[in-house]
Amino acid sequence: MRRARRIVTVAVCGWTLCGGLVAVPATAQGQPTATGAGSVGAVDITVNGTSAHSDPIAPCVVDDAPSARTDPVTIGTKTKYGLSSTTCTRNADGTASVKVTGQRFETSVLQQFGGPVIKVRTFGAGCNTTANGSNGSMELGSVTGITVPQNIPPNHTIAIPGTTPGAPPMAEVVLNELIVPVPADGSLTTNAVHIKLFPQGGPASGDILVGSASCSPYGF
């Protein structure tokens, strides 16, 4: 059994003296309002012509939907999320915070192709805004089906190979996925796990997300 419990924090600078960017006062942005959103995960896959789809599970949005939870849920017949919750908070200083906690994620969608059953006993994702940027974090506990490194850098990608020599990978699993716009504006999205099915083509396609948190100091 391969186990991991890692907490990784990343930061993205927006209008500030970071990475060579020039500082821009917040007042120049018209007194913007920080915001954030989170979800337990989402599924949009097609396997051998059969689709399974779920919009973001238990979504929260700062000021609009402060919290949500889900009982155990199965998407299609192969992907499961356990009891999980999300919280999106407006802080006293006007910043925004998002926290996602979940347990007992499992997908056996690759098993029919000779791949592993991927299980995550506990997972989490979160983010916070600052005066001019955002930071994000993720956590994984007791992972099986893939090998998780001692330290998980942003966008750490694990390829799950095909079962025959030279076959394209049946999946790519991205841990601690960090998504930022170009050019950077201080916002970010952190996904604890992102599973991409047959990214080079094959009998299945689509994406499975586990633990997602997005924050922006200036609104989305």
- Look up the pTM and report it: 0.86
Domain locations along the chain: 5-13+36-216
DSSP secondary structure letters along 149-206: PSS--TTEEEEE--SSTTPPPSEEEEEEEEE--SS--S-EEEEEEEEEESTT-SSEEE
Pick from 127, 93, 95: nearest CA to 215? 127
| pLDDT tens by residue, the chain, 220 residues | 344 444 444 444 333 222 222 223 333 344 568 999 999 999 999 999 999 999 999 999 999 999 999 999 999 999 999 999 999 999 999 999 999 999 999 999 999 999 999 999 999 999 999 988 999 999 999 999 999 998 899 999 999 999 988 889 999 999 999 999 999 999 999 999 999 999 999 999 999 999 999 999 988 7
Residue pair 50/73 in contact (Cβ under 8 Å)? The answer is no
Residues 6+ apart with CB under 8 A from 24: 15, 132
